[in-house]
Structure 1
Amino acid sequence: MRVDTLVTGGLLVTPHGVVDADLAVLDGKIAAIGAPGTLPEADEVIDCGGKYVLPGLVDPHVHLGGGRPLEEIFASETASAAVGGVTTVLQYRRSPSTFLDTFPAERELARTKMLVDTQFHFIISTMEQVEEIPRYAQEFGVTSFKFYMGGYEPGNPIGLVSVNDAVLYAAMEKIRELGPYAWCMVHCEDDSLVCHLTEKVKAKGGNDLAAYTESRPDFVEEQDLLRAIWLADLQDCPLYVPHTTVGMAVDAAADSRKKGNTVVLETCPHYLVLSADDERLTGSGVGKVAPALRNEDHKAELWRGLREGWISTIGSDHVPIPKKGGDFWDEAPGFAGLATMLPVVLTEGVLAGRITIEKVAETMAFNPARLFGLYPKKGALQVGCDADLAIIDMETEKVVGPDTTQSEFPSAFEGLPLRGWPVLTMSRGQVVFKDGVVTGTPGGGQIVTKAENTEKKRNWHAA
């Protein structure tokens, strides 16, 4: 048998260990893995030169929209994903009315404009949309739904809508019936507290990152997290908590899981690495993100949560929004993160001795693929999986900037030196990034459907 591509001389990373092996690709899938020199001949050979080979990252938390027309954002930002070794993006979509009217056109744009593969979550804002959740699952295959418990006052710069507990409670009742990959996802920031504290900070004249952090301290996230866990427990509904920033979430999730509940935590590279007092960010709106950046104690607890398995996934929370450079409170929160998520975690996690390279494969590929129904198609280097992979240079240091991220949108890591950059990214057997050049083309990505469930998910966790 002759194959399309051989990936040789690499160290293949799995959640359970690192293997010195070659990998064969045929028809876009991993056809064989074997000891060096034992695999069939190939039309093309890619020599890794002893570098790590990670499964293509599955980013569970991506926002695409804002700044430019959607078709341009789909193309440009998934090119940036390829730069960062991300081969599947799970993106949030929202609608001012019903997704039944707005989503088909967006789905078609994704199919024709994206460079890497995608799947979708919906942001739910109204009780009317809650009532349509079963139809969204049946007609679109979308079974993960996000709710903003607060943090976005009326008139906020990006138009997000917070929901009350009645909406959340009613939605959980429907989500729990949707099958093994159904998730209620909650943005934990208490609405009334954030509004109250923001007014107090503004009244004192606060107008920078420190003031913003003061307006949404850790306890506004902590109390909403506990309430979300409580509601999910009442409704027997699987709960997924994106962009966790607070250390207490680790033990709260652990306690809930030990009682038999399904609670999954995600965190982001900026919450693991950046702090609210970062001098690079103090005078600009680039560090404005919701929830807010925290302190060293919280960061240490998040790293512990990853090591111990209580934090299951890492997402970029990529937001392609330009910064105006004017009044801090008028700036839209969020920043680009697709290209930097892997080098940040490798530099500050693996190279700093906080987590292992195996944990990176687990939390940034295998776990998100498994949680959202993409495994065994995505998330692992094993026979039968899509040939999604990233070859990593752990030695060369690059400074974060537009030339390295290949995104026009600002990064909160701008100016920082990082190691662990992909030198090649492969998506379904096609090289989409190599040696600093994006080689993929718009429309090369696919919309990935959920796999048939083969395991009981209740009480699932990644520990």
Structure 2
Amino acid sequence: MTLDTLITNARLLLPHKGLTDGVLGIKDGRIAVIAEHKADLAAREVIDCQGLWLLPGIIDPHVHFGFGSPETDFETESRNAALGGTTSALSFHRSKDIRDSFESARNLAERQSCIDIGFHFGITSHLHVQTLEEISTRFGVSSYKLYMMYKGAAGLAQGFTDIDDGLLYSALRETARIPGAVLGVHCENVEVIPVLRDPLRAAGRDDLRAWNEQSPDFLEAENVHRVCYFASKTHTPVNIVHLSSREALDEVRRHRQRRNGPPIYVESCPHYLFLNDESPAGPYAKVNPPIRGQGDVEAMWEGVLDGSITTIGSDHVPRKRATKDKNIWAASNGFPGTGMILPIMLHEGYHRRHIPLSRIIELCSANSAHIYNMPNKGSIEIGKDADLLVVDPDLEKVVDPATLESHADYSPYEGMAIKGWPVRTLVRGRTIMQDGRITDEARAHPGGHFLRRL
């Protein structure tokens, strides 16, 4: 057999083995051979890793492509993702009636994206719940998100009229009926926020810590309890997305002690592991839930180590700097970050905190592949998609938004020196990034696939 590509002189991160010296062969976009260095193999292309790491591609389970430039986001943001080693991403799709809107979104993603793209459905109405099985089966989507922060007046401001505890319970019950499905929930008690926010604004506060104080940890934890409790009554797998605080994580730990309870997954984000509410990024780091204090940052790393946190997602939103150049109350929510997952986890986790590399890849790739029904992704094994990263763990670069390809023209990490970057990104065996730039071939022919997961 002549391979399409042979990757030599690599240190491969193999499941249950750690970094292992060897070679890897790719045929028809999949991993066909894993062998020792001395193996005699023929290939049309040879990539010499020169002793660098070969890791599975990162799976980002939480991006908002289309919230910056709807016409071009899948192009720019997939490039941004690939620069940092993200080879698959799950974006959110919501509309009044998903039956009428989804195909155009999927087609746009397939035309523009250079990485593989899947979707979650945003549940904002009873119509979405009533049609959930239909749209899931028809479009191959097995995961959803409900936004507790859009209850009441906050929801009306966004045009949502149905979001309440009844919708949460109905969505949980319907999700439980769909094999392999999971419901993600944004947990913040938005009804209490104005009670805390208004005095802060009246006092003239305009700092990142004020944003934390207007939606403190216990408002997140209260909603986490509600979601987990309802999930136990409906026997529904749930995912607490972008969890940010010790108190909320402790609620998950408490509910996981229930005998025969449903799975409760926890996603956190690089910014909750790396930034705190004293960050000089100010409004550029405004997000929901808020960036917390350093104590909560430490709690997130404890969750990484003890397994309480299941996945890492970026919560990437690619809006322009102009939407942030305002006071903390008027600045837009969210910021770009999908291409920063691996660099931050290597810099802060592997180098500074000595988190095992295998644990980082579990969080950033393998676990998402399992939870979100992507059996061909997430690890270096024969037969799986050749989504691979050549990584230089000692390469240090300063974050510069001008080089990141995103529609967003800023980063909350800009100016920071980060150690540990991919120098080559392959999606299904095809190089789409090399030495910090998207290849000309990937620009001309993006080639990303839609990830059907149900």
TM-score, with length taken from structure 2: 0.94
Range 407-416 or range 291-300, more displaced: 407-416
Pair 1:39–1:307, CA change in 2 (3 A): farther
Alignment of 1:146-225 (within 5 A): 146-150=145-149, 154=153, 159=158, 161=160, 163-180=163-180, 182-225=181-224
Within 5 Å, which residues of 2 pair with 1:77-96? 77-95=77-95
1:99-118 Cα deviation digits (max 9, x unpaired): 11111111111111111101
Q: What is residue 239 of structure 1 aligned with on the other side?
A: 238
**Distance change >3 Å, CA 104–CA 5, structure 1 → 2:** same
**Change over 3 Å in CA distance of 1:127–1:200 after alignment to 2:** farther
Contact 1:116 1:446 in 2 (8 A): yes
On the 8 A contact 1:226/1:252 being kept in 2, the answer is yes
Counterpart residue identity of residue 416, structure 2: L
Structure 1 residues 158, 77: closer, same or farther in 2, change over 3 A? farther
Q: Map 1:235-314 onto structure 2 (within 5 A).
A: 235-259=234-258, 260-261=260-261, 262-278=263-279, 280-282=280-282, 285-314=283-312
Relative to 1, partners in 2 of residues 1:398 and 1:157: Cα closer, same or farther, differing over 3 Å?
A: farther
Give the whole-Å Cα distance in 2 for the aligned partners of 1:308 and 1:15: 19
Task: Please name the residue that 1:21 is paired with.
Answer: 22
What is the CA-CA distance between 1:49 and the residue it aligns to? 1.3
Match of 2:318 among 317, 320, 341: 320
How many angstroms does 1:249 deviate by?
A: 3.5
Deviation per CA, 1:227-250, whole angstroms, max 9, x where unpaired? 111111111111101111011343
Deviations 1:210-257 (A, max 9, x none): 222211111110111111111111111111011110113433333333
5+ residue gaps, structure 2: none
Shift of 1:413: 0.8
Residue 395 of structure 1: CA displacement? 1.3
Describe the SS at the equivalent of 1:90.
strand
Unaligned runs of 5+ in 1: 452-463
Structure 1 residue 144 displacement after superposition: 1.1
Q: Give the fraction of aligned pairs with identical amino acids, expressed as a percent.
A: 35
The aligned runs of 1:378-389 (5 Å cut-off) are 378-389=377-388
Asked if 1:345 corresponds to 2:348, the answer is no
CA contact (8 A) 1:71 1:110 kept: no
1:329 is paired with a residue whose SS is coil
Q: Equivalent residue for 2:448?
A: 445
Question: Shift of residue 404 of structure 1?
Answer: 4.1
- The answer to whether the 8 Å contact 1:13/1:52 transfers is yes
Q: Distance in 2 between matches of 1:318 and 1:186?
A: 16
Rounded to whole Å, the distance in 2 between the matches of 1:254 and 1:21 is 40
| Amino acid across the alignment from 2:291 | L
362-371 vs 145-154, greater mean Cα deviation: 145-154
Structure 1 residue 328: deviation in Å?
Answer: 2.9
Q: Distance in 1 between matches of 2:436 and 2:425?
A: 10
The SS at the match of 2:377 is coil
Runs of 4+ in structure 1 off by over 6 angstroms are 155-158
Matched residue type, 2:207: D
Distance 2:183 2:151 in 1: 19
1:242-292: CA deviation from partner (whole Å, max 9, x where unpaired): 1110113433333333323210001000000100111x223xx20100000
CA shift digits 1:316-354 (9 cap, x unpaired): 111111132124322211111012111111000000134
Contact 1:250 1:310 survives alignment (8 Å): yes
From the superposition, tell whether residues 157 and 307 of structure 1 become closer, same or farther in structure 2 (CA, over 3 Å). Answer: farther
Other-structure match for 2:389: 390
Q: Deviations over 1:281-320 (max 9, x none)?
A: 23xx201000000112111111111111111100111111
The offset of 1:199, in angstroms, is 2.1
| Partner amino acid, structure 2, of 1:191 | V
Per-residue deviation at 1:137? 1.1
Once superposed, what is the RMSD of the aligned Cα atoms?
1.9
Counterpart Cα distance in 2 of 1:265 and 1:240: 6
3-state secondary structure, aligned to 1:9: strand
**Secondary structure of 2:121's partner?**
strand
Equivalence for 1:406? 405
> Structure 1 194/152 Cα, relative in aligned 2: closer, same or farther at 3 Å?
farther
What letter corresponds to residue 382 of structure 1 in structure 2? E
Structure 2 Cα separation of the partners of residues 157 and 4 of structure 1: 54
Q: Which range moves more in the overlay, 157-166 or 313-322? A: 157-166
State whether residues 391 and 422 of structure 2, in contact with CA within 8 Å, keep that contact through their aligned partners in structure 1: yes
C-alpha distance after superposition, 1:74-93 (max 9, x if no partner): 10000111101111001111
Displacement of 1:18 after TM fit?
Answer: 1.7
How many Å separate the matches in 1 of 2:228 and 2:351? 34
> Which deviations, in whole Å up to 9, do the C-alpha atoms of 1:41-100 show, x marking residues without a partner?
1111111111111101111111111332x23111000011110111100111111x1111
Give the aligned residue type for 1:46: I
CA distance in 1, matches of 2:219, 2:365: 30
Tell me how far 1:203 sits from its aligned partner. 2.1
Higher helix share: 2
CA gap of 1:216–1:39, structure 2 versus 1, over 3 A, is farther
- Structure-1 separation of matches of 2:417 and 2:276: 17
Q: Give the deviation of 1:208 after TM superposition.
A: 2.9
Residue pair 1:389, 1:427 contacting (<8 A) in 2 also: yes
Q: SS state of the match for residue 33, structure 2? A: strand
1:4 matches 2:7: no
Instruction: Report the secondary structure of 2:68's partner residue.
Output: coil
Cross-structure match for 1:73: 73
Task: State whether residues 92 and 121 of structure 1, in contact with CA within 8 Å, keep that contact through their aligned partners in structure 2.
Answer: yes
